[in-house]
Amino acid sequence: MSKLFSPLMAVIYEAISAILLFWHAAWHKVLGNGSWLATNWSWVLGIIFLVLTVRAILFPIFVKQIKSQRAMQALQPKVKALQEKHKGDRETMQKELMELYRSEKANPLMGCLPMFLQVPVFLGLFHVLKHLKPTMPEHLRTLYGWTAGQFESASHAKLFGAPIAASFRSSPQELVLMGANGTTVKIVAAILIATMIATTFLTSRQMILKTGWAEDPQQRMVQRLMLYGVPFSLLISGALFPLGVVLYWVTQNLFSLGQQMWVLRKYPPPNQSGTGAKPAAKSDAKGGDKNGTAAKAINPALAPKVGAKPVNPKKGGAAKR
């Protein structure tokens, strides 16, 4: 398995490097070697546009994910009916569910596909930036299509004075070789990690608030894990990420917030699409509904007593006349 996995990851490392180097070269032509606010913007913008490139490639898959989620939501009544019908026969229930998904063209796995496709990109960038160490042997500096000059430039590239290849837990020896100040690195890393945690939480919260909490206990547990568990885990793992990787994550979250907002407006959940059944009219405080049909209030004092004979209103009216 590892023999097959290594060549695949090598291809991903080269692909990520190619996109990053392309955007760095493009921005270098515009900005040159200039540095503003202690930041080498050609490398920083290279990472940001790496995110935009990947998300543009995955955008059609993201739209399919939203459509699949809408189809799954619309099928929930039928799914529940099948679960009740085959409560004691799990095998038959699974066959019926698969047939239902096939006939309705709904794929329950599509909801996780964009996330799974982004994992190799994240791992690739993580490996490439971890590779940018001044202590790296000469023969390893030209891996994945890099030149020695590009390696040297990227390994010393900074974001507000902190090297993009450094992390919150970089050793003092590594920081000295990168020409960085430990306090500056920790401050920049702490701000980026806090932003990464906050935007990760907001991205999950936005989706849950728009689509609603799942009724299935297991799915609801997964939603809670995504909403609270993943951001909390970043508090620990974020300290190990190079600053360039954290920047990539923050940029991706900000892009996701905007993308989800647009897609959720274009493809609203079934209960917000305006095509569903109208809710029943609500009664007002006087017993009437909003359509103006008032319900007559019954006075307890005028109600017939138990055992009394019913009074015919027609006869009573005739007697008065």
Q: Kindly write down the DSSP assignment for every residue of 109-151, as one continuous string.
A: TGGGHHHHHHHHHHHHHHHHHHH--TTS-GGGTTGGG--HHHH
Q: Please give the mean pLDDT across all residues of the chain.
A: 79
In a domain, 78, yes or no: no
Q: Which single residue is written with the structure tokens 């990947």?
A: 54
In a domain, 197, yes or no: yes
Based on the structure, what is the number of domains in the chain?
Answer: 1
Average pLDDT over residues 185-213: 90
In a domain, 82, yes or no: no
In a domain, 225, yes or no: yes
| 56-61: long-range contacts, CB 8 A cutoff, minimum separation 24 | 58/114, 58/117, 58/118, 59/259, 61/113, 61/114, 61/117
Reduced DSSP (H G I as helix, E B as strand, rest coil) percent helix, strand, coil of the chain, to 5? 70, 5, 25
pTM over 0.85: no
In a domain, 100, yes or no: no
In a domain, 316, yes or no: no
In a domain, 314, yes or no: no
Average pLDDT over residues 180-208: 93
pLDDT at 212 over 80: no
CA distances from 199 to 23, 119, 179, 204, 318 (A): 25, 18, 30, 9, 77
What is the reported pLDDT for 146? 94
What domain range includes position 230?
A: 2-67+116-269
Are the C-beta atoms of residues 93 and 83 closer than 8 Å to each other? yes
In a domain, 135, yes or no: yes
